Amino acid sequence: MHVILLGPPGVGKGTQGILLANSMGWQRVVTGDLLRAAVNAGTDLGQQAQEYMSAGELVPDPLIIEMVKEKLSALPAGTGVLFDGFPRTEPQVTAFGVMLEALGLTIDRVVVLEASDEVLVARIAGRRSCPTCGSVYNSVLAPPQREGVCDNDGSQLVHRTDDTEATVQNRLTVYRRETEPLISYYEGSNAIVHHISGDQGVDEVQAEVLQALGVGL
Ligand code: AP5
């Protein structure tokens, strides 16, 4: 199964993606995580991407497409794959289609998570992430057992540098302008598109996602 998780910043794509990948043994392709790893490693890609990410702008398509191509070609054949944060623009959709065709793959489902801007801004303000395993917490809504420490591996949790109020507003604007229109594209494709409210508890969202994908625990 190949699934795209689509939705605005802070809606819970990462939270649901981790739960789903862990329970189903699927791989995740998360362009935001790949970019943050490149920034932390100080690679050429990371240096080019950093300025865009800090401003809440999209990283240029050619850099993203190359990065995803590399990641896709390294995935073991025959596994389920969850795409989170990609594709985000029309050129990325087109390039993605070419990549998938070359590999004989198709997108089976698109899960669109939705919530109001008020909910998204509040969630992002409280988000804390583990730099080691990628686990996502929220200082108010989903706190770790020990404040500031990852439950899984004991790493010190971080507040993402693009989670400032000004950057979040721009990320929402960019999402509505560049990425939201892709939903109609996928509704007109062979993929089955499910709309799910992300404005419910994590478990409730997870149950609806599993039901939409027709997979159970
Ligand atoms: P990226 O990392 O993809 O960020 P995003 O799309 O803005 O999404 P987020 O990671 O902010 O949110 P999420 O939906 O995963 O929510 P989460 O589960 O963490 O992109 C970052 C930047 O990289 C972009 O701005 C761009 O510059 C660049 N980039 C990435 N991909 C690109 C591409 N393809 N093209 C060009 N540029 C690209 O949850 C958020 C918070 O809410 C957490 O605290 C969590 O604990 C909490 N929470 C989650 N679910 C619930 C719930 N149901 N109830 C209560 N709290 C919840």
List, for residues 126-178, the tens digit of each pLDDT value: 999 998 888 999 999 999 999 999 999 999 999 998 998 889 999 999 999 99
Question: What is the arithmetic mean of pLDDT over 89-103?
Answer: 96
CA distances 66 to 61, 70, 101, 116, 194, Å, are 9, 6, 16, 32, 28
Of residues 59, 108, 114, the one with CA closest to residue 82:
108
What would the pLDDT profile of 7-30 be if each residue is shown by its tens digit? 999 999 999 999 999 999 999 999
Residue 86 Cα to ligand 1 middle (Å): 11
Please list the active-site residues.
13, 88, 127, 160, 171
The residue whose CB lies within 8 Å of the most ligand 1 atoms, and thus the one to mutate among 58, 61, 165, is 58
